[in-house]
Amino acid sequence: MLNNYDNIARHYDFLSRLVFSKSQMKAQVNQLKYISAKNKILIVGGGTGWILEEIAAIYPSGLKIVYVEISAKMIAISRKRNCGQNEVVFVNSGIEEFESDEHFDVISTPFLFDNFSEERAAGVFRLLDSFLKDKGLWLMVDFTLDEKSPAWWKRLFLKLMYTFFKMAGNVEAKNLVNMKPYFNKAAYQSVEEVLYYGGFINATVYKK
């Protein structure tokens, strides 16, 4: 199954922090201030679910969260998290197969699009856009080859990452897709943009 990290689920957080220290965590936690009480939230590709505990620390109740993750082992770990009194629906599925009649106030996609080929990334963007309410917020965190800082080491890092994750998780992507043009074309407004890890990680809050 493409883009499935079952093989390294138990070690994923350790590996992430070993390489990136707490940069990946900080990028996501900093965006949580944009969540409001009683929001409906869609989290796609949340991994081991540690972010659910961070959300519960701010809002221990009142939220409805739909948590879509393709890895069954990641879902199993996530179910054990302390989510407070928030309603959390776990969906073990690739996002392409996810269906819902609901529309969400907030969508979070932490390190999701770096898994996809450009064609599939475009399709996933359109699907998620259809789930987000007008004036809703999209919490986007991913790697970037932003030209504001030297890119040679980022390209080397990405090549090594894709080689490792292709072996460990059957990742389809070979190159990083720049998602900014998709948000710009769909007329999203950038509310906040913060770079981490020497500009290699971009955390942008978009408003539809």
Q: Calculate what percentage of the chain has a pLDDT beyond 70.
A: 79
Residues 106-128: tens digit of each pLDDT = 999 999 998 888 999 999 999 99
Residues 81-95: tens digit of each pLDDT = 999 999 999 999 999
Closest CA to 68 of 84, 51, 87, 89: 89
Residue 154 pLDDT: 72
**Per-residue pLDDT band at 16 (split at 50, 70, 90):** very low
Q: Classify burial at 148, counting beta carbons within 10 Å of its beta carbon; exposed 0-12, middle 13-18, buried 19 or more.
A: exposed
Measured distance CA(165)–CA(169) in Å, rounded: 5
Q: Classify burial at 75, counting beta carbons within 10 Å of its beta carbon; exposed 0-12, middle 13-18, buried 19 or more.
A: buried
CA 48 to chain centroid = 12
Residues 136-164: tens digit of each pLDDT = 999 999 988 765 655 777 777 677 776 66
| DSSP designation for 152 | H
Residues 165-191: tens digit of each pLDDT = 666 556 665 678 899 999 999 999 999
Closest CA to 50 of 79, 27, 88: 79
User: Dmax over Cα atoms in the chain, in whole Å?
Assistant: 46
Residue 143 pLDDT: 85
Residue 11 has pLDDT above 50, yes or no: no
Residue 71 pLDDT: 87
